[in-house]
Amino acid sequence: MKIHFRDMHDPIRFLLEKGSPVLVVGLGSSGIAAANLLARMGLAVEVSERTKRQDSLVDLSKLHPSVQIHWGGHPESLFRRFPLIIISPGVPRDLEALQAAAEKGAKILGEMELAFRLTRAPWVAVTGSNGKSTTVTLLDLMAREEGLRVSTGGNLGTPVTRFVDKDQTPDFIVAEVSSFQLESVEVFRPAIAAMLNISPDHLDRHPDMEDYVAAKLRIFSCMDESDWAVLNEDDDWITRETGDLVTARFPFSRKRVLPEGAFVREGWIVVREGDTQYPVMETGSIALAGTPNLENALAATAMAFRMGIGFESVVKVLKTFAGLEHRMELLGYFRGVPVYNDSKGTNTGATVRSLEGMGSDVILILGGKDKGTSYEPLESLIRRKVTHLILLGEAAPRMKEAFNGASEIVMVKDLDEAVRVAVERARSGSEILFSPACSSFDMFSGFEERGRVFKEAARKYMGLAR
């Protein structure tokens, strides 16, 4: 296949065109996609995977047959052999083998950075602690409704290196971007980039909040005044940390009327550009429920406007798209009590945002793998809104200590027991919310499996999620 470069003077062009061997680190979906792309380019590709072959669940039939795999660790001797190394998002930059390779002069790129350099379409990128997948999905649907050709993926699911050898260049590449992906960007420059919100997350990977926020802000690092930053004006971290951006701004807010951007006024979403105001739709007509999703709708509307998408397409999507699975998913009603599956609530900030939209008689199920973040932001909300707090998983003991006295606490061994206890406590006026505020990896392969198990238990005890 022919290699196309965004910048014909890109220094990796020489490495790729002369056929230098490439090492891909990590055999997840991003690593497989990058390895396959490079192998199709005719390059000699090897993969370093930390798990042992017998412990791996990877479907090797998806990997190009010419790719060689090294299992069971990341030896420095292997890394030093390669002039170009591509890392998956889950691979930390401070890995000793990577540092050894860099000292020998190796070029190290993230999978997303590689895809950006080898694509020519404008990128629209969305980052933030919560709401990324929903916002990207809304934007994808709005663009398609408008008749635009879009390739959508990134942290949402489809690795972006799969977009490199498309037969037809899309009008836009729409990407959900994580802090892990942004750690390794160098020339990544989206035409439009959104920062949805900032709350403590991934502090098991980042040493502190400052490092986490700095990684998120790298989404704007190569943008200039011809590009657009779509920023949440209601988020203190964002307003404090983005004051010196050189990009053009088109912000959004659900709390304030803005001089320019997307905002809520008298129950309507309004877009303002200069002296012109566009009443887009009533907020009550949005199919997505909850305060967090109103912010996601505002962000998507602002980005769609900057992409040239008409309001008819925006309104049609916002009126019909009811949300993604495991994200404030209303499973139904148990004796009049609404039951929500928010398994994607993998950090404290996500659960705060979900709980803010609930009433004052919530049965809340929390717990999972502890990320090392503070649970303090949840304490006052739990005290005001949660009548029964059901805790499980690795984080349960620390949560019990953090929320002692804020609500009635029940410790359980698994999700099945958690749902059974919730059923026992439910009464008229209650709401049941499963929003763990933790990752799932102490008990499950991911938030998707965790959400499915919750739904199975809801079906078992409540007759829901059929």
pLDDT, mean over the chain: 92
Q: Does residue 447 share a domain with residue 342?
A: yes
* pLDDT band, very low/low/confident/very high, at 205 (cuts 50, 70, 90): low
Sign for the CA dihedral angle at 304, 308, 311, 317 comes to negative
Instruction: Output the CA–CA distances (angstroms, integers) from residue 16 to 101, 147, 237, in the order listed.
Output: 18, 35, 40
pLDDT value at residue 219: 96
Judge whether 151 lies within some domain. yes
Judge whether 3 lies within some domain. no
**Distance of alpha carbon 268 from its chain centroid, rounded?**
27
pLDDT value at residue 465: 55
Question: Does position 328 have pLDDT exceeding 90, yes or no?
Answer: no
CA–CA distance, 107 with 420 (Å, rounded to integer): 53
Place of tokens 């000699």: 44
Residue 229's CATH number = 3.40.1190.10
Question: Does position 296 have pLDDT exceeding 60, yes or no?
Answer: yes
Judge whether 162 lies within some domain. yes
**Is 286 in contact with 125 (CB distance < 8 Å)?**
no
CA–CA distance, 173 with 152 (Å, rounded to integer): 6
**128-169 confidence digits (pLDDT tens):** 988 999 999 999 999 999 999 999 999 878 999 999 977 678
Q: Does residue 128 share a domain with residue 100?
A: no
Instruction: Output the CA–CA distances (angstroms, integers) from residue 355 to 129, 223, 419, in the order listed.
Output: 16, 35, 18
Judge whether 6 lies within some domain. no
**Is 287 in contact with 277 (CB distance < 8 Å)?**
no
CA–CA distance, 298 with 321 (Å, rounded to integer): 14
Within 10 Å of residue 376's Cβ, how many Cβ atoms? 10
Q: What's the DSSP call for residue 249?
A: E
H/E stretch holding 12 reads helix 11-17
Closest CA to 220 of 202, 243, 203: 243
CA–CA distance, 52 with 70 (Å, rounded to integer): 9
Q: Does residue 99 share a domain with residue 126?
A: no
H/E stretch holding 87 reads strand 84-87
Q: Does residue 151 share a domain with residue 271?
A: yes
Q: Does residue 277 share a domain with residue 352?
A: no
Q: Does residue 255 share a domain with residue 129?
A: yes
With a CB cutoff of 8 Å and minimum separation 6, the contacts of 419 are 365, 454, 457, 458, 460, 461, 462
Question: Does position 336 have pLDDT exceeding 70, yes or no?
Answer: yes
* pLDDT band, very low/low/confident/very high, at 89 (cuts 50, 70, 90): confident
Question: Does position 125 have pLDDT exceeding 90, yes or no?
Answer: yes
Q: Does residue 60 share a domain with residue 205?
A: no
* pLDDT band, very low/low/confident/very high, at 200 (cuts 50, 70, 90): low
Question: Does position 45 have pLDDT exceeding 90, yes or no?
Answer: yes
* pLDDT band, very low/low/confident/very high, at 207 (cuts 50, 70, 90): low
**281-290 confidence digits (pLDDT tens):** 999 999 998 7
Question: Which range marks the domain in which residue 334 is found?
Answer: 329-461
**Is 194 in contact with 130 (CB distance < 8 Å)?**
no
Place of tokens 């928010």: 342
Judge whether 395 lies within some domain. yes
- pTM for this prediction: 0.83
Q: Does residue 123 share a domain with residue 80?
A: no
Last residue of a domain, one of 320, 352, 368: 320
Mean pLDDT of 53-77: 92
**Distance of alpha carbon 423 from its chain centroid, rounded?**
31
Torsion of CA 159, 186, 235, 292, to 10 degrees: -10
* pLDDT band, very low/low/confident/very high, at 90 (cuts 50, 70, 90): confident
Q: Does residue 135 share a domain with residue 277?
A: yes
Q: Does residue 316 share a domain with residue 333?
A: no
Judge whether 1 lies within some domain. no
Pairing of strands 329-334, 337-341: antiparallel
The DSSP code sequence of 312-345 is HHHHHHHHH----TTSSEEEEEETTEEEEE-TT-
pLDDT value at residue 466: 53
Q: 70: buried, middle or exposed (CB in 10 Å: 19+, 13-18, 0-12)?
A: middle
Highest mean pLDDT pick, 137-151, 174-188, 334-348: 137-151
* pLDDT band, very low/low/confident/very high, at 275 (cuts 50, 70, 90): very high
With a CB cutoff of 8 Å and minimum separation 6, the contacts of 276 are none
Mean pLDDT of 43-70: 93
Q: Does residue 76 share a domain with residue 219?
A: no
Sign for the CA dihedral angle at 368, 371, 375, 381 comes to negative
pLDDT value at residue 457: 95
**347-393 confidence digits (pLDDT tens):** 898 899 889 888 889 999 999 998 878 898 899 999 999 999 999 99
